[in-house]
Structure 1
Amino acid sequence: MNFSSWPPLLVVDVEGNGTNPPDLVEVAALPVRGGHPDTSTAGAWLTKPHRPVTPFAANIHGLTNERLENEPGWAEIADQVHALLGTAWVCAHNAHVDYKVLSAHLPRWQPAGVIDTLRLAKATYPSLAKYSLDALIKHVKPDLSAAPAQRHRATFDAYATAQLLLSMAAHYDTWDQLVAAAVPPGLPGAPEPEKDPTLW
Structure 2
Amino acid sequence: MYAILDIETTGGQFNEEGITEIAIYKFDGHEVTDQFISLVNPEKEIQPFVVKLTGINNAMLRSAPKFYEVAKRIIEITEGCIIVAHNAQFDYRILRTEFDRLGYNFERQSLCTVELSQKLLPEQTSHSLGKLVRALGIPMSDRHRATGDALATVELFKLLLDKDIEKEIVKGLVKSENSQQKKGLSTKLLDMLNSIPAVTGVYYIYKENGELIYIGKSRNIKKRVNQHFTGTSRRSKRIQKDAFTVTYEETGSELIALLKECQEIKVNQPLLNRSQKKATFPWSLYAAKNTNGYIALSLTKTDGRKKEIISFSGAAEGKNALIRITEKYNLCQKINGLDPSVTDACFPYGTGNCNGGCIGAELHTEYNVRVGEFISFNSFNGQTMAIIDRGRKVDERSVVLIENGKYIGYGFYKLNYQVNNLDILKNILVLMEDSKDAKSIIRGYIRKKKDLKILHF
TM-score range for the pair, normalised by the shorter chain length: 0.7 to 0.9
Give ranges in structure 1 of 5+ residues lacking alignment: 1-7, 191-200
| Residue number in structure 2 paired with 1:129 | 125
1:35-54 alignment, distance < 5 Å: 35-38=30-33, 41-54=34-47
The correspondence for 1:183, drawn from 174, 187, 197, is: 174
CA apart distance, 1:139:
1.6
Distance 1:42 1:189, change over 3 A: farther
CA apart distance, 1:10:
1.0
Letter of the 1:81 counterpart: I
| Residue number in structure 2 paired with 1:5 | none
Q: Indicate whether 1:109 and 2:102 are aligned.
A: no
Letter of the 2:150 counterpart: A
Q: Indicate whether 1:168 and 2:197 are aligned.
A: no
CA distance in 2: counterparts of 1:167 and 1:63, whole angstroms:
30
- TM-score when normalising by structure 1: 0.79
1:60-79 alignment, distance < 5 Å: 60-79=53-72
Letter of the 2:22 counterpart: V
CA distance in 2: counterparts of 1:170 and 1:61, whole angstroms:
31
> 1:114-150 CA distances to partner (integer Å, 9 max, x unpaired)?
1110001111111222110011111211245xxxx61
CA contact (8 A) 1:114 1:188 kept: no
Structure showing greater relative contact order (alpha-carbon pairs closer than 8 Å, 6 or more residues apart):
1
Identify the structure with the greater strand proportion.
2
CA contact (8 A) 2:116 2:169 kept: no
Paired residues, what number?
Answer: 174
> 1:68-115 CA distances to partner (integer Å, 9 max, x unpaired)?
11112212222222222123111000111001101111232211x211
Give the SS at the match of 2:163.
Answer: coil
Give the SS at the match of 2:133.
Answer: helix
| Residue number in structure 2 paired with 1:26 | 21
CA contact (8 A) 1:87 1:110 kept: no
Decide which structure has the larger Cα Rg and report it: 2
CA distance in 1: counterparts of 2:144 and 2:112, whole angstroms:
18
Letter of the 1:109 counterpart: F
CA distance in 1: counterparts of 2:61 and 2:43, whole angstroms:
11
CA contact (8 A) 1:11 1:30 kept: yes
Spell out structure 1 runs of 4+ moving beyond 2 A: 174-177, 186-190
Letter of the 1:31 counterpart: K
CA distance in 1: counterparts of 2:25 and 2:80, whole angstroms:
14
CA apart distance, 1:179:
2.1
- TM-score when normalising by structure 2: 0.36
Give the SS at the match of 2:91.
Answer: helix
